[in-house]
Amino acid sequence: MSTTKVKIPTPSYAPFYRTGGAAALIAALIFRRNLDAEFMLLRGSGVISVGPAVPPVSTADWFTLLQSNPLLGLTLLNLFDVVNYVLAGLIFLSLFIALKKTHESWMYLAAFLGFLAISNYLASNQAFAMLSLSKQYAAASSDPQRIMLLAAGQAVLAIHSSNTYAGTGVYPSFLLISTSGLILSLVMLRSEVFNKTTARMGILANGFGLGYYLFLLFAPGMVYFPLSISAIFLWIWYIRIAARFFQLSKAE
């Protein structure tokens, strides 16, 4: 009596790789993280002359900026980061699939920290809330209305303070996403899926991102430098990840 062996098909991860590659490409070229820091560095160095030289501090200043230049105001309130965090979730999911066999326990930790950061950030970003309040403030016809709206804006900024990352949502989210990215890059360094250069770009990108907190403690006036440097390496990291994901999808 003969038996026939049934071959169990292995799952194809090509759709995940294509999705991760597209997300990395979009994140690198359009919805860049830390775009507000890059703008403030260029503005402070005199490369561009449009917009405030320092981020608004008071609620009234934020309302004025959002009324005069809504796109710039939303950029400084990290609106682009909202989309970037969603894209980062797709990238990290694809990296988890590609790197899980290299070091499974560390990849689970990176995935947990990453998606915790993403969910926390999406719940805390208040860019559109500030834009809505600024419109109501401009249309207010009495001082009591304006005072009430200023108080509401102050409460919103307490949740999301873009100029120091001291908001209850932004500060831990950026810490968690950078830590997750650093873990992914270190696992990537030991993997045969990605080359060493790609891994090193990730280590530098997320390492400089975490360096922000050292500057915040010891040189708060220069906090935009580590973020801007991180953005350069993050751009290279995403481009290389996208290229490799597209190669993997074709190989499958």
In a domain, 199, yes or no: yes
In a domain, 14, yes or no: no
> Is pLDDT above 60 for 226?
yes
Residue 138 lies in a domain: no
Task: Report residue 68's pLDDT band, with 50, 70 and 90 as the boundaries.
Answer: very high
Q: Specify if 107 maps to a domain.
A: yes
**pLDDT score for 81:** 85
Q: What is the pLDDT of residue 11?
A: 58
Average pLDDT over residues 13-38: 89
Q: With 80 as the cut, is the pLDDT of residue 151 above it?
A: yes
Query: For residue 21, what pLDDT is reported?
Result: 97
Q: Does the residue 229 lie in any domain?
A: yes
Q: Give the domain extent around 176.
A: 22-52+76-127+162-251
244 belongs to a structural domain: yes
Residue 182 maps to a domain: yes
- Three-state SS sequence of 163-212: CCCCCCCHHHHHHHHHHHHHHHHHHHHCCCCCCHHHHHHHHHHHHHHHHH
Residue 196 has pLDDT above 90, yes or no: yes
Asked if residue 165 has pLDDT above 70, the reply is no
Output the 3-class SS for 140-174. CCCHHHHHHHHHHHHHHHHHCCCCCCCCCCHHHHH
User: Mean per-residue pLDDT for 230-247?
Assistant: 95
Whole-number percent of the chain with pLDDT over 90: 56
pLDDT computed for residue 3 by the predictor = 45
pLDDT for position 6: 39
Domain count of the chain? Answer: 1
**Any domain includes 28:** yes
What mean pLDDT is reported for the chain?
Answer: 87
Least confident of 71-75, 192-196, 213-217, 245-249: 213-217
